[in-house]
Chain A
Amino acid sequence: MAVEAAFRRERAAVLATLIRQLGDFQLAEDAVQEAFAAAIVAWERDGVPTSAGAWITVTARRRAIDRLRRDRTLGDRIERLKVLAGREAAATDEPEPSAVSDDQLRLIFTCCHPALAMQARVALTLRTLGGLSTGEIARAFLVSETTMAQRLVRAKRKIATARIPYRIPSDEELPDLLPGVLAVLYLIFNEGWAASGGERLVRGELCAEAIRLGRLLHGLMPDDPEVAGLLALMLLHDSRLQARVDTHGELVALDDQDRSLWDRGRIREGERLLDGALRRRAPGLYQLQAAIAALHATAASPQDTDWAQIAALYAELARRTPSAVVEVNRAVALGRAEGPNAGLAVLEPLLRGGTLDGYAPMHVAHADLLDRAGNHAQAARAYLRAAQCAENTVTRTELKRRAAALA
């Protein structure tokens, strides 16, 4: 409905400003919620006002003032009432765009503060910056609504009690704090993309929300190449959304995807962002991953893909953050660039190492390389091992089918 849509668009910005003015997450959220209830009545009657954001800000601030007057347990309420009365008197309710941006940045860095557990950061970011309800977030992360509500309350209480500051980090703090923010957004995206443990393969709303937040952050920090790199990475992955699952809801491997279903608009946008970021000559981990995704996205077919370049990018990723998972991907790329035996040579030590033994993609890669090296019996066994490790039922069925086809 129109009122709800208008409200969702404005909610995060209004909340961000109100939290700063009130110095209290919970009070600000409650006031915005009450303003929404008032908006439903007023907007249905009179239509959505042209500056809906200003309308909600004023209404929410008045509700907060009422609340502070009524509730005598709220500690430094006199001080806060003074601040709010000042805002009412000033009565400039069309806020400066730069002030709004600054408040949203403050909100992002507070929600993603490293003193909060990762789960709490994700939940808080989706609830306050995204448009998701507590129930929707709970369902997306397969926990009960009560559990999710408690997680949110605990996080907000810690912010208030431990005094996690509501501010934009200084330039010298940014390198320490920005990766944490980017990790939250990427985790939200990946949770939607991988849908671990769930029946549904793609929980599109989480991917869409992560991209929306990525755009918001990129709009607020347009000069940061890793912010642009992350947004590019998410867009390039997301471009394959339609091709990734077939009409029966089954997973389609990259090689087998109908590339005409890939979203050209998303690919172009991702490439443009990545090009802009790379020109700043500070290629970080997200830009490297986006560069890999871009090589896939712009190849006409699996055979036309620049696998040698992809293998080189994985080698660079591995050099910066040594990771067995990255090595698996390098093995796949090298297997395509130089033949299956080159890939198997990279994979051998990982298979013997045992740390990734429960990691399905390693066994899938192993199976594929064995298959192309002509070793079908071992390939079938590797597919079955992969099926045992797969968390997703759709994926598991597909892997068993491949094993059966080879046996």
Chain B
Amino acid sequence: MPQYMMLIYSPAEGGPSPEERQAEFPRWGSYTQALRDAGVMVAGDPLEPIDTATTVRVRGGETVLTDGPFAETKEILGGYYLIDVPDLDAALKWAAQIPSAPYGSVEVRPVMVLPGM
């Protein structure tokens, strides 16, 4: 079955407060469990906050490090799920149930199938 990456973005400003995020926590747990129960979960993790990011570029043979994400964005990548479902409609249904979808956004991308793999 095709795999889809669900990239979970949240607004950099004006998102939920720390208390609201705390309250949201159990819903992420039950969502992950629902993916497992449906047998579609391949992988999924939250990411540490954006101020822990380091961006790496190699230019002219030299490694250049930047403290922070690769671009200033209004929406921050906060985590991902990799799922295995029959088609895009199934993936989009799962994406709509992600707990942060009501205020953030979820980018759904098919995983490229390389020939011979």
Contacts and interface: CB of A to CB of B under 8 A. Distances in A.
Contacts of A163: 2, 86-88, 110
Interface in B26-57: none
Nearest to A164: B88
Interface string A154-177: 000000011111000000010000
A6 B52 CA distance: 65
Contacts of A164: 87-89
B92 interface: yes
Contacts of B92: 115
B61 interface: no
A165 B110 contact: no
Contacts of A115: 88, 92
A353 interface: no
A86 interface: no
A141 to B, nearest CB: 26
Contacts of B14: none
A354 interface: no
Contacts of A165: 86-89
B18 interface: no
A75 B88 CA distance: 19
A164 B86 CA distance: 10
Contacts of B87: 163-165
Max count, chain A CB within 10 A of own CB: residue among B2, B88, B110: B88
Contacts of B2: 163
A63 to B, nearest CB: 25
B115 A161 contact: no
Contact of A162 (B86, B88, B115): B88
Interface of B: 2, 86-89, 92, 110, 115
Report the 7 A-B pairs with minimum CB-CB distance, sorted nearest first.
Answer: A165-B87, A163-B87, A162-B88, A162-B110, A164-B88, A163-B88, A163-B2
Interface of A: 75, 115, 161-165, 173
